[in-house]
Amino acid sequence: MSLLSVKNVSYRYENTKRRALKNINIDFEAGKVYCIIGKSGSGKTTLLSLLSGLDVSSEGSILYENNDLGKADRDDYRAHKIGVIFQGYNLLLNKSAYENIELSMAISKSKHTHDRQYILQLLQSVGIDEKTAFRKVLKLSGGEQQRIGIARALSHDPNILLADEPSGNLDQETEAEIIKILVDLAHNQNKCVIIVTHSKKVTKYADEIWGMSSGNLVYAG
Ligand SMILES: Nc1ncnc2c1ncn2[C@@H]1O[C@H](COP(=O)(O)OP(=O)(O)OP(=O)(O)O)[C@@H](O)[C@H]1O
């Protein structure tokens, strides 16, 4: 059964002539890794912003568990159903990994916000040990920062993880470790993992690859 369903979605930015997305149709299921590839400017980020509930399309609809996001409480959707992982990690550099997670959980009003054991276990699950958890993020490597980014995205236990070039800033070995975590989340923890990527290493592990070209999304294998 489809968890997130995009139906006939088109999108045009204000004061522009061309549509950035043209009649997009795709179904996302739990337990799978989806890769979206495509040239710069093809519409990938625009699609991610609609999937993450940041914006709504005027044409077509996006359904989460059959509920239209255009009519739903999108703040609730963003706080509880979906986790987002960024290329640039977007962490608070002067805070520790632990504090970054705690703060994010406080914002989404998680019942585990002050549960030290929960937060340390979450960090442990992505390979961040207790000592590292209390060091300032700016002292950590890119790979460690991305692990924390993944832990933060997971902190409110979402069903869907959206990742925008999650390994774009990492060396090959570290990239492989990050991919392993994301694939494991889909295949062993039943998350729906959606990755925008240019990396062939990442697409190798995808269950479905979709290509974006001039606002059109086409199944690519
Ligand atoms: N805020 C905006 N206002 C107007 N046009 C925009 C805006 N953001 C993006 N666009 C246009 O929409 C189209 C799709 O852009 P989008 O950022 O989704 O592409 P992308 O595939 O994510 O590119 P990249 O790989 O460089 O991030 C492009 O033609 C872009 O110029």
| Closest C-alpha to ligand 1, atom 7 | 13
Q: Indicate left, alpha or beta for 187 from its phi (over 0: left) and psi (-120 to 50: alpha).
A: alpha
Report residue 200's pLDDT band, with 50, 70 and 90 as the boundaries.
confident
Does a structural domain hold residue 124? yes
Does a structural domain hold residue 70? no
Question: Is 20's C-beta closer than 6 angstroms to any atom of ligand 1?
Answer: yes
This model of the complex carries an ipTM of 0.96
Average confidence score pLDDT of the chain: 94
Give dist(CA 210, CA 15) in Å, integer: 28
pLDDT for 1 beyond 90 = no
Question: Is 168's C-beta closer than 6 angstroms to any atom of ligand 1?
Answer: no
**Predicted pLDDT of residue 159:** 96
Question: Is 53's C-beta closer than 6 angstroms to any atom of ligand 1?
Answer: no
Report residue 198's pLDDT band, with 50, 70 and 90 as the boundaries.
confident
Does a structural domain hold residue 52? no
Give dist(CA 69, CA 106) in Å, integer: 24
Facing residues of 212 across strands?
38, 217
Give dist(CA 184, CA 181) in Å, integer: 5
Q: What is the CA radius of gyration of the chain?
A: 17
Calculate mean pLDDT across residues 6-30.
96
Give dist(CA 75, CA 81) in Å, integer: 10
DSSP state of 159: S
Report residue 127's pLDDT band, with 50, 70 and 90 as the boundaries.
very high
**Predicted pLDDT of residue 155:** 94
Q: How many domains does the chain have?
A: 1
pTM: 0.94
Facing residues of 61 across strands?
7
Does a structural domain hold residue 16? no
- Out of 12-16, 120-124, 170-174, 197-201, pick the least confident: 197-201
Position of tokens 């996001």?
69
DSSP 3-state assignment of 63? strand
Question: Is 13's C-beta closer than 6 angstroms to any atom of ligand 1?
Answer: yes
Q: Indicate left, alpha or beta for 175 from its phi (over 0: left) and psi (-120 to 50: alpha).
A: alpha
DSSP state of 31: T
pLDDT for 122 beyond 90 = yes
β 59-64/33-38 pair status: unpaired
**Predicted pLDDT of residue 199:** 87
Give dist(CA 101, CA 90) in Å, integer: 12
Atom of ligand 1 nearest to the CA of 45: 22
Atom of ligand 1 nearest to the CA of 38: 21
Tens digits of residue pLDDT in 22-79: 999 999 999 999 999 999 999 999 999 999 999 999 899 999 999 999 999 999 999 9
Calculate mean pLDDT across residues 122-147.
96
Tens digits of residue pLDDT in 78-92: 999 999 998 888 999
Position of tokens 């959980």?
105
**Predicted pLDDT of residue 89:** 87
Q: Which of 21, 44, 50, 162 to mutate to test the pocket of ligand 1 (most atoms within 8 A of CB)?
A: 44
Does a structural domain hold residue 36? no
Does a structural domain hold residue 79? no
**Predicted pLDDT of residue 87:** 87
Does a structural domain hold residue 28? no
Question: Is 38's C-beta closer than 6 angstroms to any atom of ligand 1?
Answer: yes
Facing residues of 67 across strands?
64
Does a structural domain hold residue 170? no
DSSP state of 135: S
pLDDT for 109 beyond 90 = no
Domain that holds residue 144: 92-157
User: Per 3-state DSSP, what percentage of the chain is helix, strand, and coil (rounded to 5)?
Assistant: 35, 25, 40
* Spatial CA neighbour of 193 closest among 171, 166, 172, 155: 166
Report residue 7's pLDDT band, with 50, 70 and 90 as the boundaries.
very high
